[in-house]
Each structure stands twice: as structure tokens, then as C-alpha cells.
A and B are shown apart, each in its own frame.
Chain A
Amino acid sequence: MYREYGRLVFAVALRALGDRGLAEEVTQQCFVKAWRASAALDENRELGPWLVAITRRTAIDVYRRESLRTGAPLEAVAPDDPALMTSPPSAEALYETWEVRQAVGELPDDEREVVRLQHFAGMTHGQIADQLGVAVGTVKSRSFRAHKRLATALGHLKGETG
């Protein structure tokens, strides 16, 4: 189950808390809670929203715990300290993270890398072409195919697709 959903649960936890260490902790707790609740789970229920709900509740508990930690004066706390983070996103926002992470994971490797470099690394097509050692036209083709797959998988296209 971890191999099927572990990355997605981790992504949601990281989105919720913004801290890798805490996201790992939440991921562990989520699977333990899911195991404990599995006997009562309706097998017709979609696992994704169920796991997102468990992850979000667990993240809120961890967020509250971290928020209560006493320590240095506010000015001395690092900007990325979990105690300073805003409250976790809504369930809908976290489920979006789940769906996007899942759709990205289903892209072919070459297309996924173009999307990553474009959106996460902020590169232009020319920069991506240099990075990957391919022609700019190849990057544009991969980008179009990848974004078409993503838009289709995530329901952003209307009617017949080209």
C-alpha cells in the first residue's frame, strides 16, 4: 500500500505542513491510522479522499503540537520554522495536491522532466533544451503533450480533445 500511495500521502503532508521531517512523521501516522481503520472501511469507498482526510487530520494535530512549542523570541525564529507556518490548507486544496501529484506521476519520464523544469525550476524552453541536450522544438513538443495529458487527466479540457 505504501508503494501505491506513499508518495501521494507524503505530497499532501508536505503541502499541509511545508516541512519534510514533519511530513515524514505524518506519513507514518497516516498509514498506521489507515491500517487501524481499514477493517471498517467500505470497500466501495475511494481510497484517495479517505487517505487525504486522514493525512489532513494528522497534519492538523502535528501543526497544533508544533505551534505550542515554546522557544526563542519570535525574532530569533527562522522564517521556515514550522511554528510559524499558517494553518494547513483545506481538504479540497489538499485533494488537488493529491490529484496533481498522481497525474504528474503518470506522465512519461521525458515529459514529466520538461514539466518539472518549466514549472518547478522556472526554466524557459531554451534553458530546458540546453539542460536536456535536445532541440527546442523537442522541448516544445514534449511540453505540449505533457500539458495536454495533465489538462485531460485533471478535467480542464472541454468536449472532444484534439
Chain B
Amino acid sequence: MTPSNEDRIAYLAGEDVTSLPTDEVAALDALRAELGAAATWEEPPGELEDQVVMAVSRAAAEEPGVEDGVAERGTAASQERGPQRASSPSWWSRLRARIPLRGPALALSLSLPVAAVAAVVLVLATNSGNGTAPLQFAMVVQGTPLAPGAHGSATLTKTTSGWRIQLSARGLPRREGKDFYQAWLKNAAGILVPVGTFNDARRVTLWSGVPVTKFRTLTVTQQVANGDPKSSGRKVLIGTIR
């Protein structure tokens, strides 16, 4: 009996259909497996977009000889583009629009490391002047002599509970047991305020009860649970709002 499209749809929907040939059953089974997979349904975290934007903007800032790498690519692509296509490289101009590259909203400061200690900062400030968006900063964090390969970014958002700091850093090994990482905010006078402890720096949410506009330096240190609450001084990550 020749299978109908109704049979195919019914089989895909989980009904028992015996009229389909083996190869079609296999293909529909594969589709059913995809429909049952977590990858089909799980959503990325909301902050991932900001992290992607910061990662690309950092890459653009590091590109030699290009003052505004993102804009230049977007412009060149637009000039070469023929008929409007959603998939043309002009989507990079949309990325540019996402980043406030003009006006007082952005302070961009790069200091590339010559010595081993590095503090590389990219700040995007989204001002909630109209009250519709939270006050937010973003920074790039870099490694130190103890962790020269470490790097990442942090988003700092003002909430009613305090400042939420979302840190995403790579290049730091996991610390467990009595060993852990601790994050601190520091002000101009050198006063340190702890903002959280963690094992793995790849995705961490920290909280500060002090304003990041005053405590503008974020550091992460290696710590040991030995009864001493003070910073060990063994810094592995550092970033500063300027």
C-alpha cells in the first residue's frame, strides 16, 4: 500500500503507522529524536547576547590598523552588496548599532600588556536616563602573572538588591575542596569589598552591596579556606571601569 503524507505526518506525531518504507521510517525516527532532544528546546541565557557583543567588540578593538573594525566591515559589505538579502555581511552593521560607539555613553580604553600584568578594559555604559533600562556596565578582564592565559568579561547591572556582576572568564582551572576563587571590588583608596566565592569562572554571578561607580576595580584571587577572610593577594583576573 502506498503511504500517504497523512501517514508520514501521523508517524511523525507518534502514531503507529505500518505503511511506511524502512528508509522513510528511519528518517522520521531521526527527526523525532531531534524533536525530543534538549538542544532543540533549551534557550541560551539572556546575558549571552551581551557576552557575544563584548567578545566581538573586543576582537574588533584588537584588530590592527582599523579604528572601528566593526563599522568598516559593515560599510564595505554594504557597498558590495547587491539586492537586499538578510544573509549578507551587512548584518555586521546591525552589530555596530548594538554597540554605542559615539557620545558620552561609551568610554573605550585599551592598554595592551607589555609586562605580564594586564588590565584591559572595554566599557559599555547603558544609561537608564529614561528609566526604561537598568544602569549597566561591561568590562573586559585579563589575566595576571599567576594566570597569563586567563581572560573574559563581566557585565555589572544595577538592581534593587545591589549590583549584579556576571563574570565569564576562561583560562582558569577549577578550584575545589579548600581551594576556591574570590572576587573583590576595590575603590581608589584601596578598600576591598568581597563580592563572592566560586569554583569555576566560566559563568559566575556575583553580588555587590557597594556601587561599582565608586569601587571600580574587579579582581579575582586564589584563596584557601584557612580561617583568614582577607585577600590572599594572589590575583588571577583584573578589570577596571574607567
Q: Which residues of A contact B (CB under 8 A)?
A: 1-4, 6-7, 10-12, 14-15, 20-21, 23-25, 27-29, 31-32, 35-36, 38-39, 41, 43, 46-47, 96-97, 100-101, 104, 115-116, 118-120, 122, 143-144, 147-148, 150-151, 154, 156-159, 161-162
Contacts and interface: CB of A to CB of B under 8 A. Distances in A.
A63 to B, nearest CB: 15
Nearest to B85: A43
Contacts of A14: 38-39, 42
B43 A162 contact: no
A43 B77 contact: yes
Contacts of B186: none
A120 B34 contact: no
Interface in B61-98: 70, 73, 76-77, 80-82, 85-89, 91-92, 94-95
Interface residues of B, number: 55
Nearest to B74: A38
B68 to A, nearest CB: 13
Interface string B197-209: 0001011000000
28 contacts: A1-B91, A1-B94, A1-B95, A3-B49, A10-B48, A11-B42, A14-B39, A15-B37, A15-B39, A21-B202, A21-B203, A24-B44, A24-B51, A35-B73, A36-B59, A38-B73, A38-B89, A39-B89, A97-B39, A100-B35, A101-B39, A118-B13, A120-B35, A143-B13, A147-B9, A150-B35, A156-B24, A161-B5
Contacts of A39: 73, 76-77, 89
A100 B59 contact: no
Contacts of B88: 43
A11 B39 contact: yes
Interface of B: 5-6, 8-9, 12-14, 24, 27-28, 30-32, 34-45, 48-49, 51-53, 55-56, 59-60, 70, 73, 76-77, 80-82, 85-89, 91-92, 94-95, 168, 170, 200, 202-203
Given A6-B48, A27-B48, A96-B34, A35 B40 contact: no
